[in-house]
Structure 1
Amino acid sequence: MKKLYLFPIFCFLFIFSCKSDEKIESIETVNPVVNFNIDAVPYAKLSTYAFFKGDLKDLNPSTKVIPYEPASSLFTDYALKKRFIWMPDGVKANYDGDDKSLNFPLGTVLIKNFYYNTIQPGNTTKILETRLMIKKSSGWVFAEYLWNDAQTEAELVTGTNFTTGSSVNITFKKENNDVVTTDYRIPSESECFACHKLDNKPVPIGVKPQNLNVSYNYPNGLKNQLQKLVDEGYLQSFPSNIVSTVNYKDTSKPLDIRLRSYLDINCAHCHQENARCDYRAIRLSFSQTTNLSKIGVCVMADEPIDPSLERIIMPGNPSKSVMHFRLSSVNESNRMPLLGRTIVHDEGLDLLKQWINTLNQNCP
């Protein structure tokens, strides 16, 4: 008679072989299966999904929860980010263009955790928020989770009682050892929609092939992120000739490519057709900014700010360039981006300044 082997609910018989005595030779346990009911999400607690195994704060992904990182990252008051993709069994995303987000199937969840590892005093690590985008039959929906001080759980705050968002006062140390205190912004659903809006529908921003066509250091080694999605069964295929963005911090890359990559991830989602700032004079998608007028070089400002700021980009003169002024401002009426930051991104501003100083054409 065969013996019956019972395992805990979170364990699976992964590999086995039978010999004459029918002894099970090899058993491997795997991570908990993600808990996802598309009719019930978003759940009240982040832990309910089982996206992460072990202590929740470790953000150690469960099976088929795949980490990713765009070539350049959106600036959010120097917050660090850990991003993941999860999809249900039997479905795949499709390539739809270098500069268009992957066409994800129903049930896809994009997971983005915001944290600091230099919270003062003591350089401690603290996760502030986790943002989910979930693709339901009605389209993408937002789910904002706010972490408790004990770092044991994150609670859903998206809804009718969180229409104005909130702020968390933090003090952290930058890489240059400057200590910064700010009211970090936890966005409301309407604020999320403002940046993620295209054709009046919510869409993802960073998961474009042009941003993912770079290597990531997975536990098993470096691999192209798009190829990883293919290997995991999450993506049908992708072309070999994708025109890709770069890490704007990588000084080995051309200055103009770095600047265009920075503007794409930080600004292009609003400055494009049928998006929040489509009435503006500039278009900042990476695929368009080979044309310098799209960035605003010699383009007249489309609203009055200061008489000395006539051009969006004044070649060779950052102090007379509207874009430089907006990136250096923390005033809510003047700063760009409008949302997502409360302090100046010094490195991004310096990148823009360097690039403007290389331009030598005369404006008409």
Structure 2
Amino acid sequence: MLLTAVLITTFIACSKNDDDDEYVEPTPVSPVTVDLTQVPYATLSEYKFFDGPLKNLKPSLDVLPYAPASSLFSDYAHKKRFVWMPKNTKATFNSDGTILELPVGAALIKNFYYDNVQNIATPGGTRIIETRIMIRKSTGWIFADYKWNAEQTEATLDLDGSFTDITWKDENNVVKTANYRIPNESQCIICHKSRDINDVVTFIPIGIKPQNLNFDYNYGTETKNQLTKWIEAGYLDSNFTFPTAENTTIDYNDTSKPLELRARSYVDINCAHCHGVDRHCDYRPMRFAFSETKNNLVNMGVCVNTQDMQGFSPSLGKIITGGRPEESMLYYRINTTDETYRMPLHGRTVIHEEGVALMRDWINTLDRCN
């Protein structure tokens, strides 16, 4: 009887202790470190944006992948993009065609890489060339560009710019080459600069506009509209209406879509960051933002006189000559590698064959200029 009483008492005591010491699963904490007094760091790994071997680009907790509907052409490089924001902060909506307003401390991470590379130690593998980061400080956005080593184990801060030869096989097994250009800080500024209401130059991101993110993205474990995902992740205020279909850009590579929408989406992502109000080339008449080209051929440059012929052939007197791509200045400049004349000014050293074909096909649908 005594033994039974002892066992019962012990059981009750243990049960009570179990209740008192109930295990609580700790809340996971993101390892990311963005100290605004210290950034940009000397190496990419110091941010802890990625979990495991750096070259795998596996995002750490709270590092969210994203992609715009259309991608800025960069010598056929692939890109993996991510966004991170400090805990309890989020972006806010301005308009469909305006970049999301990210909080102080936020970071945008974009990795440039090639698959099936031939001029590396093990041909056929992947080579990451650079990782560009934009970080939002209280004084505005700053740039940080990280150049990857040959071993693909680390990337080091380098804002001086450089070239690197790359040889790869494309999806059709065709060998291609490029003398890929890693931009210097001045070149970053040209594409990302804007002027505020006081005519002060500021730097802003390019692709993170609601119009570019309003489509489903495969996150691995689920496929979901990116704007919805940002809201659910606590990265975006929900007090706005999603862009309508007509105000949403499309993938310009999607041949099932209308040719005009593809052309407008192409110039939006490849040209509008310079050819817009308060941007680097705002003295030119074109306004290539997607929201400004709807039913507006003039903003697309159609039948608009070329302002500065720079010794060009008189046949290139219009920015776009309807039905005549060979007489269109825009077509000429996207179809050359001459650094003096090519467009965009930076970001490519080879011709974007598919983009040129797209713009040629669209120009051929237009009526001739009077």
TM-score for the superposition, normalised by structure 2 = 0.89
Contact 1:316 1:357 in 2 (8 A): yes
Distance in 2 between residues matched to 1:42 and 1:95, nearest whole Å? 27
Equivalent residue of 2:112, what SS? strand
Distance in 2 between residues matched to 1:154 and 1:195, nearest whole Å? 23
2:61 aligns with 63
Q: How does 1:330-345 map to 2 (within 5 A)?
A: 330-345=337-352
1:350 is displaced (CA, Å) by 0.5
Q: For 1:154-200, what per-residue CA distance to the aligned partner results, in whole angstroms no more than 9, with x for missing partners?
A: 01113xxx2xx211111112233332222110111110000001112
2:42 aligns with 44
Q: Within the alignment, does 1:167 sit opposite 2:159 as a pair?
A: no
Equivalent residue of 1:292, what SS? coil
Unaligned residue ranges in structure 2 (runs of 5+): 1-16, 196-200
- Select 1:277's aligned residue among 281, 289, 292: 281
Contact 2:306 2:319 in 1 (8 A): yes
Distance in 1 between residues matched to 2:243 and 2:193, nearest whole Å? 28
Q: Within the alignment, does 1:178 sit opposite 2:178 as a pair?
A: no
1:257 aligns with 261
Equivalent residue of 1:259, what SS? helix
Q: For 1:60-97, what per-residue CA distance to the aligned partner results, in whole angstroms no more than 9, with x for missing partners?
A: 00011000000000000000000000000111110001
Distance in 1 between residues matched to 2:237 and 2:89, nearest whole Å? 9
1:27 is displaced (CA, Å) by 5.0
1:348 aligns with 355
1:21 is displaced (CA, Å) by 7.5
1:210 aligns with 211
1:241 is displaced (CA, Å) by 3.7
- Select 2:241's aligned residue among 239, 242, 252: 239
1:125 aligns with 126
Q: How does 1:191-230 map to 2 (within 5 A)?
A: 191-199=187-195, 200-230=201-231
Equivalent residue of 2:224, what SS? strand
- Select 2:299's aligned residue among 294, 298, 302: 294
Equivalent residue of 1:57, what SS? helix
Equivalent residue of 2:227, what SS? helix
Equivalent residue of 1:61, what SS? coil
Q: Which moved more, 1:140-149 or 1:248-257?
A: 248-257
Distance in 1 between residues matched to 2:172 and 2:27, nearest whole Å? 44
Q: For 1:41-60, what per-residue CA distance to the aligned partner results, in whole angstroms no more than 9, with x for missing partners?
A: 11111001110000000000
Please tell me the residue identity of whatever aligns with 2:52. Answer: G
Distance in 1 between residues matched to 2:362 and 2:182, nearest whole Å? 32
1:143 aligns with 144
1:231 is displaced (CA, Å) by 0.5
Please tell me the residue identity of whatever aligns with 1:233. Answer: G
Which segments of structure 1 move beyond 4 Å, counting only runs of 4 or more? Answer: 26-32
Distance in 2 between residues matched to 1:20 and 1:29, nearest whole Å? 21
Distance in 1 between residues matched to 2:74 and 2:331, nearest whole Å? 18
1:36 is displaced (CA, Å) by 1.9
Contact 1:315 1:357 in 2 (8 A): yes
2:91 aligns with 93
2:308 aligns with 303
Please tell me the residue identity of whatever aligns with 1:265. Answer: I
Distance in 2 between residues matched to 1:76 and 1:31, nearest whole Å? 35
Contact 2:276 2:288 in 1 (8 A): yes
Q: Within the alignment, does 1:363 sit opposite 2:369 as a pair?
A: yes
1:362 is displaced (CA, Å) by 3.3
Distance in 2 between residues matched to 1:31 and 1:124, nearest whole Å? 33
Contact 1:31 1:62 in 2 (8 A): no
Q: Within the alignment, does 1:155 sit opposite 2:156 as a pair?
A: yes
Q: How does 1:22-37 map to 2 (within 5 A)?
A: 22=21, 24=23, 27=25, 30=28, 33-37=31-35
Pick the structure with greater CA Rg.
2
- The structure in which a higher percent of residues are helix is 2
Q: Which moved more, 1:213-222 or 1:190-199?
A: 213-222
Distance in 2 between residues matched to 1:168 and 1:29, nearest whole Å? 44
1:31 is displaced (CA, Å) by 7.1
1:288 is displaced (CA, Å) by 0.8
Please tell me the residue identity of whatever aligns with 1:281. Answer: P
2:325 aligns with 318
1:19 is displaced (CA, Å) by 4.3
Q: How does 1:111-122 map to 2 (within 5 A)?
A: 111-121=109-119, 122=123
Number of aligned residue pairs: 340
Please tell me the residue identity of whatever aligns with 2:133. Answer: L
Unaligned residue ranges in structure 1 (runs of 5+): 1-17
Distance in 2 between residues matched to 1:264 and 1:178, nearest whole Å? 29
1:137 is displaced (CA, Å) by 1.2
Q: Which moved more, 1:44-53 or 1:168-177?
A: 168-177
TM-score for the superposition, normalised by structure 1 = 0.90
Q: Identity over the aligned pairs, expressed in percent?
A: 51
Contact 2:96 2:243 in 1 (8 A): no
The root-mean-square deviation of aligned C-alpha atoms, in Å, is: 1.6
Distance in 2 between residues matched to 1:348 and 1:187, nearest whole Å? 22
